[in-house]
Structure formats: structure tokens, C-alpha cells
Structure 1
């Protein structure tokens, strides 16, 4: 690893918590060299010196290093169902529901959940556990800075209430960030904790084998309270929900049988 790049990744880790050494060096170095050359810089040292002073350029750098397929209120009709039909029933059973956003990627999902919960209770009372296996993506999530495209489906009132515009990027408010705790977690091997009242795990299990999915659904069921809900992605319908102790509550929402 060249000294210039080595120094760059060291400084980025101190500044943001993101460890570029965990990425494939050749690919990441090529991507970042192309980025700084386009901007007219001649070295990683010169590039860091600038992004360290210029928040907009730093945000652009963050956007470039993460391959982000998540977004706020993704498939927003499903989030409407959560808000109007699912959460009121959960809140009838408990005033302080235990909420888990599993495989949360860069944070859009748990932050969306926090914003929706703010319609039911003060954000100071909301506690959401958000987990992912990738430490870099978790570091990005904790920063809470997103490109405009991540907010395409977010309602205008939520954008106004919970985001600050910073150039072409948006920063999540501190009160929303405080409602979410991020933690590294491997769905296949780590303990699940609980019991939870709602687990959100969307657009992730499509990447797992049938055997792995089977294991994860069983574990989700075991760590949910009776009547608790599993919210899955729009390509992840569970056709044999009964074998995991679930029944369909709504499309893509599964309730643990009482």
C-alpha cells in the first residue's frame, strides 16, 4: 500500500470512523484516484486537505465510497401500512415497544422507523436497535448524511422536520439519530436478543440461500414477543409462514402467533 494512500485511509478513519483498509485496495484506490483527479487534485494528501475543510466535498466523498441501495421510506406504501395498521396494534399491547432494524445498511431504514414513531410518542422515548454486518456501512449510518436521491420517497413534512440541507446533501437531525443505536451483528451466527415487538428486515434475505433463510426466520420468530411483527421486503413474501410460527397480518407483515 503506498504511503500517500495509507496516510489518507488513516486520516479518514480518524475523521469518520470508516476504515477504508477493509475494502479491496485496488478497487477503492482506483475509484478515489479517479474522483480526486476529476476534481483537479494531484495526490491523496492534497485531496484530504480539501475535503477536511469542505463539508460538501466530504459528503460527496462519502457518497462515492458506499454502494448504497437503501433509501428513506423505500416502497412508501408499506411504511403507510406500518404507521396506520401495524404500529397502533403494537402500541395497544405496549407503550414502549422494542424495535429492531436488522441488516440496516446505511441507516435509512431505522431512521425512517424513528420518524414514523415520532408520530406516536416523543423521540426521546423511542429506542431502535439497528444492526448490520458491515462496520463501514454502520460508520456511514452513524454520520447520518445522505444524497438527495435517498430522500426521493420521504414525505415533504418529514424532510422539513428532520433534515438539514447541506449543499446537495441532507443531514438527519440529532434527535432522530439519538433514537437509533447501531451495532455490528451477523444474522447467521450472532445471538438475536429480544424479545422484540417489531423486527424490520427488508430486501436482505433475497441474498441468502434457502437454508440460511430458514434458519433466520426461525430465529426471528423465537426472538419476537407473541403478537410481534416481522416486516419484510417487497420481494420476500414468506409462503410457508406457519412453519415458523407466523401468520400473515398484511402484505409483507407477519405476526408471531399467540
Structure 2
């Protein structure tokens, strides 16, 4: 079974460029086993052969692998810290912030960033790069239609201002959509842009191995400007932040250390 999963990892990497060995094995195997059993397969070998023949099954694999669970203002008190403590300091440096929502799933996170920023600067000054590995998630994000459950944490003022209800769904305002550019990106394989003021990557790193997380922390640090901020999820505290050139700006917010001048 272990050898079969190793072969599955190799085949997936050749087909998609996704390296499953960088994801926690126990969690990933459990998630994918339930998917292939649900579709009538008895092994990873059969499952991969099925994915090669059936593009819908392959898409289902990508969806299951990338954990597309998201909501607006997730852990709302952290977004209040961003708004009241972190952003004022960043905006002292520049009112044209370079922002990246990494592993953005179906768009709730980057749109939340835009709404939070809109309380401090005009929408026409907001530019957010939002990336994910899953084309289907990105497609949903660009459409910007959400169910009521996704909006549970949205402040009433923001809900009235930036959402339009149609029957049982909510459409996000076009002005917010225009602030976000969505692109496909593999965090574990693709190069990172740099000179970001703020990188938000939440509730994703917990699925990666320690080796993969170590590499990502280094790459995030390199991608930030000195003084820039990495905002992670509420189960993703970096215990050795200084090892990556970070200092704690608040709980789950890490600031890239500015080099002292000689």
C-alpha cells in the first residue's frame, strides 16, 4: 500500500506538477482514499488510471486535494487586528500597498482583504494578487457568488455596502471584484514575486510537511519588503519566526525584520 501510494505520488507529479510528498501523508491519504472509494475504485493505481480517462474525476481530485473551505472574515477578530493595528503602520510607508492572497481558494479571503482595506484607502488604490492551484476554485472566485453561510462573519455594514442578495445567494460588488487579480499558482513549485507589503496565507500551511513549511516561510520572507507582514491562520503560529527573518507583530502576524543601517 505504501509503495502504491509512492507510485501514485510520482504519477501525479508528472501529470500535474503537484508534489503530494510535500503534504502530510496521513491526512492526504485519508482524504484521497475516501474520494476513490466513493467513486468505486479499490486502489490508488485504479484511481490514477481513472483520472487519466475522466477529466471530471481529475477535477474532483484537485478539489479534494486543495481543501477549498473558506469564508469571509474567517476568525473575525484577527481581521480587526489587521484593520486597526497592522494596516495603519503599513500605510504610513505607502498608500499603494502590494498585497498577495496566497492559496486564495474561492475568493473569500482576497475580497475580505479588499473590504478591510477599503475602510482606510479608496477602492481605486487597492490592488490584490490572489493565487491558487485549483482552476475551478479560481473560476468560482472570479464569478463572486456565495451562499449565506460564507457571509456569517461579515460585518452588517460591509454586507449592505458590498453584497447584493439574489434569491438564496449573494453577489459581491463589481467594485470589490475589480481590486483583485486572480492567477493560477503552485505555492510549492512556482516562483514568487517580491516586494510585497502584505502576504496573507491562512489555513493552508497546516496541510504541508515540516520540510515544505520551512521552505515556504523562507520564500514568503524573501517575497516581502523589509517591514512587510505575513498573516497566517489561527492554527499556524510560527514558533521560530526569527529563523526566517520575522518578528511577531501580533498573534499570527509576522513582520519581516528591517536590516539595521551601519
TM-score range, shorter chain: 0.7 to 0.9
User: How many Å separate the matches in 1 of 2:67 and 2:129?
Assistant: 22
Q: What is the aligned length? A: 201
Which residue in 1 is equivalent to 2:171? 171
User: How many Å separate the matches in 2 of 1:104 and 1:248?
Assistant: 23
Offset, 1:23: 3.5
- Cα 1:217–1:72 change in 2 (3 A) is same
Following superposition of structure 1 onto structure 2, how do residues 88-107 of structure 1 map, counting pairs within 5 Å? Answer: 88-107=88-107
- Cα 1:68–1:210 change in 2 (3 A) is closer
Partner SS, residue 24 of structure 1: helix
Match status 1:24 vs 2:24: no
- Cα 1:181–1:198 change in 2 (3 A) is same
**Structure 2 unmatched ranges of 5 or more:** 1-53
Which residue in 1 is equivalent to 2:251? 251
Which residue in 1 is equivalent to 2:220? 220
Which residue in 2 is equivalent to 1:142? 142
- What value does the CA root-mean-square deviation take over the aligned residues? 1.7
Whether the 8 Å contact between 2:68 and 2:137 is mirrored in structure 1 is no
Partner SS, residue 186 of structure 2: coil
Which residue in 2 is equivalent to 1:158? 158
User: How many Å separate the matches in 2 of 1:121 and 1:241?
Assistant: 30
User: How many Å separate the matches in 2 of 1:228 and 1:27?
Assistant: 36
User: How many Å separate the matches in 2 of 1:180 and 1:97?
Assistant: 13
Which residue in 2 is equivalent to 1:74? 74
Offset, 1:26: 11
Q: Structure 2 length as normaliser, TM-score?
A: 0.74
User: How many Å separate the matches in 2 of 1:142 and 1:231?
Assistant: 23
Q: Structure 1 length as normaliser, TM-score?
A: 0.75
- Cα 1:24–1:98 change in 2 (3 A) is same
Whether the 8 Å contact between 2:198 and 2:230 is mirrored in structure 1 is yes
Partner SS, residue 153 of structure 1: coil
Match status 1:83 vs 2:83: yes
User: How many Å separate the matches in 2 of 1:228 and 1:70?
Assistant: 24
User: How many Å separate the matches in 2 of 1:189 and 1:26?
Assistant: 19
Which residue in 2 is equivalent to 1:232? 232
Whether the 8 Å contact between 2:102 and 2:199 is mirrored in structure 1 is yes
- Cα 1:241–1:153 change in 2 (3 A) is same
Which residue in 2 is equivalent to 1:129? 129
Which residue in 2 is equivalent to 1:199? 199
- The superposition leaves residues 101-158 of structure 1 with CA deviations (integer Å, 9 ceiling, x where unpaired) of 0000000000000011111111111000000000110001000000000000000000
